[in-house]
Chains A and B, each alone.
Chain A
């Protein structure tokens, strides 16, 4: 069974600080995604990375896929209150790409 562990589980920071969230596994994934979920809503896709070592930027968010395609990170520069939410990584199951395997989630709160 492929598992994705995220760290930290909770993160509470002040506006303007930088942060990094990690998503780790012992398994290889064919692609990896990051979703953000706000209270009372479903997750919304932020980015998909498919190549080992790939880096994608989305304004103040930088996503990296590990060289071996077993891990990923999300770095936020100068966090803002609007970044508050639950961040979920999800990997395409290598044995069955019909399915995604979701990480355990990182709950981020950014205070003004």
Chain B
């Protein structure tokens, strides 16, 4: 039982390049999230999904796209990377339903450190 995994762990991009970050979970969770973490700013929600085939914008969605074609996977894409997107990216998942919404325990992956030059 691996929980939430993220690939890659590290990546360096040049401005204008594109890339996709992959998140996978094996807990059969309905909800999945992408956050970015910057010093002094906690975690900020980029996009999220409440089920296979659905996506929604979070707090800071500009410059990112996502897809949830399979329940266990949530992809985060950067079409044209900018230095402002240098950050650590975390994926998380949780169960849905009334209990899931109230207790809202999110399980996080280990993160992807992205540097855009």
Q: Which residues of A contact B (CB under 8 A)?
A: 4, 6, 9, 30-31, 33, 40-45, 48, 50, 88, 90, 92, 97-100, 102-105
**Chain A residues, Cβ within 8 Å of B105:** 33, 45, 48
Decide yes or no whether B92 CB sits under 8 A from chain A: yes
Q: What's the dominant secondary structure at chain A's contact region?
A: loop
> Given A40-B110, A42-B110, A43-B108, are A92 and B43 neighbors across the interface (CB < 8 Å)?
no
Cα–Cα, bound, A30→B35 (Å): 21
Give min CB distance, A8 to chain B, whole Å: 12
In this complex, the interface size class of chain B, counting residues with CB under 8 Å from chain A, is 20 to 34
Report which B residues bind A (CB closer than 8 A): 4, 31, 35, 40-45, 48, 50, 56, 58, 90, 92, 101-111
Q: Which of B41, B92, B104, B107 contacts A92 (CB 8 A)?
A: B104
For B58, the chain A residues whose CB sits under 8 A away are: 99
Contact of B48 among A43, A44, A99 (CB under 8 A): A99
Q: Is the CB of A98 within 8 A of B106?
A: no
5 further A-B contacts with Cβ under 8 Å, apart from A43-B90, A98-B56, A105-B40, are A31-B102, A41-B111, A45-B106, A45-B107, A103-B42
CA distance A13 to B103 in the complex (A): 32
B43: contacting residue among A41, A98, A102, CB under 8 A: A102
Query: Which residue of chain A is the closest to B31 with respect to CB atoms?
Result: A98
Judging by beta carbons under 8 Å apart, are A97 and B101 in contact?
yes
Contact check, A102 vs B44: say whether CB atoms are below 8 A apart: yes
Contacts of A44 in B (CB 8 A): 108
Closest to B91 in A: A42
3 closest Cβ pairs, A-B complex: A42-B108, A102-B42, A102-B43
Contacts of A45 in B (CB 8 A): 105-107
- CB pair A98 B109 closer than 8 Å: no
For A105, the chain B residues whose CB sits under 8 A away are: 40, 42
Closest A residue to B111 by beta carbon equals: A42
Residues of A within 8 A of B48 (CB): 98-99
Query: Measured between C-beta atoms, what is the minimum distance from B110 to chain A in Å?
Result: 6
